[in-house]
Amino acid sequence: MTQHSTLGVAVIGTGRMGADHVRRLDRVISGARVAAVVDVDGDRAKAAAADIGGCAAFTDTAAALAAPGVDAVLVASPAPAHEEALLEAFARDLPVLCEKPLTPDPASALRVVEAEARLGHRRVQVGFMRRYDAEYMRLKSLLDGDGIGRPLMLHCRHRNASTPPGYTEPMMIHDSVVHEIDATRWLLGQEITAVTVHKPARSSAAPEGLSDPQLVLLETAGGALADVEIFVNCGFGYQVRCEAVGERGSARIGDERSLLVHTDGHWGGEIPQDFVTRFREAYDREVQSWVTAARDDRVTGPSAWDGYAAAVACAAGAASQSTGSRVPVTLAERPALYA
């Protein structure tokens, strides 16, 4: 594409997340337009494209990426389809924003890393949107600026109101704790070296076969620890919090410092019910950052290596869920592209 022209984006996957990105690109983001949508459900793809001028609907990823006017790709399909979509984008040297996870497992994630390294330049930004959340960015700035001294611990809470049918224990790690895994690596600038999952008494609200909540302990190469409470059927809403404890102080984010109402002998505010609401501005900022960079033929933000490192840590977490044992995290050699 011509630098600084409008970026034509093909959105792969038009489910809940993909449809929200179609809306975002069409109505919120500047410098981009939705040129194509792809979904294995042809009717759903057509419905997503119906109100967008010049947007074509496809059921085949390769055909969509080869369509006129497609300059970049946003992958929001189910995780098992990510590798194929990414390799198709690499074949056309197109910039990609890939929703997490990069791929469902370490082996496929490493194949993506190696394929991108062979290109010799970055094409992938992984959708770890917390790096674009205002509170997380302030905490990162504080830690990078030595505001509380050397960080020693992170205390994280990740709560969902409920889970859909078919939700499994490994999904607690791969779909939810993956965000804390990436946030820990990013906030501390350290790789995760081991994961241990502990299971307290099971909540009576947990679906059959799901041990909920769980406590996930992450060890890092710098000697810091991060503990993550993951509670996916808490019942009251969606809540994400993080407290960093350093040698000279602490800092906490996620306390819902929004509208606070005092009335009729009570006080309180609203609790978001899902991630789309809680991180709406972060998603907007993430996609705008990607579009702005892609228009200049650049890729910034979380890399394919970050996606791979998270996949390895998630696999360790899922293994620890089964055994209760501490599982080491061993990464492949990091390519120079990601130095």
What mean pLDDT value characterizes the chain? Answer: 94
pLDDT of residue 52: 95
pLDDT of residue 2: 47
pLDDT of residue 289: 98
Phi/psi at 222 (5° precision): -90, 5
How many CB atoms within 10 Å of residue 318? 21
pLDDT of residue 265: 73
pLDDT of residue 238: 86
* 8-state DSSP, 335: P
Distance CA 255, CA 270 (A): 11
8 Å CB contact between 19 and 52: no
Residue 137: which residues within 8 A CB-CB, separation 6 or more? 131
Distance CA 292, CA 290 (A): 6
8 Å CB contact between 102 and 311: yes
**Residue ranges of the chain with per-residue pLDDT less than 70:** 1-4, 256-263, 266-276
How many CB atoms within 10 Å of residue 126? 27
How many CB atoms within 10 Å of residue 128? 26
- What are the tokens at 179? 């965000």
* Structural domains of the chain, with CATH: 7-130+281-302 (3.40.50.720), 134-274+311-338 (3.30.360.10)
